[in-house]
Amino acid sequence: MEQRIVFERQPRIVAVSTIAGTKECEGIVGRYVETALADDMFGESTYEKAECKMLSHVIDGAISNAHLARNEIDLIVSGDLLNQIISASFAARDFSVPFLGVYGACSTMAESLALAAAFVDGGYFRRVVAATGSHFASAERQYRYPLELGCTRPPQSQWTVTGAGASLVAGEGDGIRITSATIGKVVDYGITDVNNMGAAMAPAAADTILTHFRETGEEPDAYDLIVTGDLGALGSRILKDLTWEKGLDIGDNHIDCGEIVYNVLEDEFQGGSGAGCSAIVLNSYLHAKMMAGEFHRILFLATGALLSTVSSGQGESIPCIAHAVTLEK
């Protein structure tokens, strides 16, 4: 059974919106972000409320940028990293629009895009918003250590992106076409280090990429870019090694959102991570480049580590997943 879905009607991303924190906007991606935060609290009393507000902001932003009203949206597909996806669920309660909450950890942007495209391509909905986000401080509080504890970061760690992104997918209009999606499988290579997400997720990314190219019969040079979500510097190197060992060389046109989201001159260890990482890069930098005609075909592959504090505390390894969507302009 094939894992790839071909969208015959080729749904379009007709509008996008992004918001990012002060640190994220200092890098090369920052100049393409629609809204730059002056304060990572976003005027709220907690980090979790700030994350929810960011998500609501970009959903509204994508709707507004498409010159539509909230009541013209048929469905919101969204998720986040927090327990019970509270950022997405709490944001959705303000919209009075059907809501499908999804959890794919940092793969959520690709997962929600694939679902949005499938609903539109099947004729079930006309307009669907796919969105996700993350916040450095809320992720640290839930998955690692409270900021107040002042823990040092190991060299293999990544920095969770503070930001959110949304894509409005429709059956007609001018925009980037979503031509296919490759749904990933859960892959677990036995990594237990919660500070080494790149090594944990790289095998899942490799599995989905190898599956995609096996089912399409294409070569990597059929794409201007093969973009992974947040493997970081170490994870990207592992991914290239894993695919190369299987006879697929993606080294010439692979980039990772986690590697490019921050200023390379800063000491960011392995780069960025989080659901917001791929969301802001896709919906700002990559979208702008595709609309300008600089890139024509991209394989966008977001990766997610499906761990929890409970599973990690019990010594479980980290199962991971990666979903891919083909974007064309």
pLDDT digit string, tens, across residues 224-281 = 999 999 999 889 999 999 999 999 999 999 999 999 998 654 555 678 889 999 999 9
* pLDDT for the residue 309: 86
- Amino acid letter, residue 138: S
One domain, residues 162 and 198: no
CA distances from 71 to 60, 64, 85, 118, 128 (A): 11, 12, 23, 21, 12
DSSP 122: T
One domain, residues 222 and 81: no
Spatial distance between the Cα atoms of 35 and 50, rounded to a whole number of angstroms: 14
Name every residue whose Cβ is closer than 8 Å to that of residue 112 and which is 6 or more positions away in sequence.
77, 78, 79, 102, 104, 130, 131, 132
- Of the candidates 158, 321, 324, 200, the residue with the CA atom closest to the CA atom of residue 254: 324
Helices 136-143 and 47-65: crossing angle, nearest 10°?
130
One domain, residues 163 and 180: no
DSSP 304: E
Please work out, in degrees rounded to the nearest 5, the angle formed at the alpha carbon of residue 31 by the alpha carbons of 286 and 70. Answer: 70
One domain, residues 37 and 115: yes
Task: Pick the last residue of a domain from 143, 170, 197.
Answer: 170
Spatial distance between the Cα atoms of 92 and 56, rounded to a whole number of angstroms: 7
* pLDDT for the residue 148: 66
* pLDDT for the residue 275: 96
Pairing, β 176-182 against β 320-328? antiparallel
One domain, residues 117 and 226: no
Range among 49-63, 138-152, 155-169 rated most confident:
49-63
Spatial distance between the Cα atoms of 146 and 52, rounded to a whole number of angstroms: 19
Spatial distance between the Cα atoms of 258 and 69, rounded to a whole number of angstroms: 33
One domain, residues 166 and 258: no
* pLDDT for the residue 78: 99
One domain, residues 9 and 132: yes
Spatial distance between the Cα atoms of 179 and 183, rounded to a whole number of angstroms: 14
One domain, residues 49 and 10: yes
Task: Pick the last residue of a domain from 170, 191, 223.
Answer: 170
* pLDDT for the residue 107: 98
Q: What is the mean pLDDT of residues 49-71?
A: 98
One domain, residues 181 and 280: yes
* pLDDT for the residue 271: 83
Q: What is the mean pLDDT of residues 175-191?
A: 98
* pLDDT for the residue 147: 64
Which domain does 227 fall in, by range? Answer: 176-328
Task: Pick the last residue of a domain from 170, 187, 208.
Answer: 170
Residue % of the chain over a pLDDT of 70: 93
Name every residue whose Cβ is closer than 8 Å to that of residue 45 and which is 6 or more positions away in sequence.
none
* pLDDT for the residue 225: 98
One domain, residues 125 and 204: no
Going by pLDDT thresholds of 50, 70 and 90, the confidence category of residue 132 is very high
CA dihedral over 287, 291, 295, 299, signed as positive or negative: positive
Q: Which residue has the tokens 């959520």?
A: 108
**pTM (global) more than 0.85:** yes
Spatial distance between the Cα atoms of 104 and 116, rounded to a whole number of angstroms: 15
Range among 171-175, 263-267, 287-291 rated most confident:
287-291
- Between residues 63 and 313, which one has the greater pLDDT? 63
Please work out, in degrees rounded to the nearest 5, the angle formed at the alpha carbon of residue 107 by the alpha carbons of 34 and 24. Answer: 35
Going by pLDDT thresholds of 50, 70 and 90, the confidence category of residue 136 is confident
Q: What is the mean pLDDT of residues 178-195?
A: 95
The CATH number of whichever domain residue 122 belongs to comes to 3.40.47.40
* Least confidently predicted of 74-78, 102-106, 183-187, 229-233: 229-233
Cα 50 to its chain centre, rounded Å, is 19
Going by pLDDT thresholds of 50, 70 and 90, the confidence category of residue 158 is confident
Spatial distance between the Cα atoms of 9 and 310, rounded to a whole number of angstroms: 42
* pLDDT for the residue 241: 98
* pLDDT for the residue 306: 97
Domain count, the chain: 2
CA distances from 158 to 21, 36, 44, 139, 269 (A): 16, 21, 25, 12, 6
Judged against a pLDDT cut of 90, whether residue 66 lies above it is answered with yes
DSSP 104: -
Residue % of the chain over a pLDDT of 90: 84
Judged against a pLDDT cut of 70, whether residue 295 lies above it is answered with yes
One domain, residues 112 and 209: no
Judged against a pLDDT cut of 60, whether residue 16 lies above it is answered with yes
Q: What is the mean pLDDT of residues 25-43?
A: 94
Please say whether the beta carbons of 20 and 32 come within 8 A.
no
* pLDDT for the residue 150: 64
Tokens of 177: 């076409």
Q: Report the mean per-residue pLDDT for the chain.
A: 93
One domain, residues 128 and 226: no
* pLDDT for the residue 264: 56
Tokens of 96: 């009075």
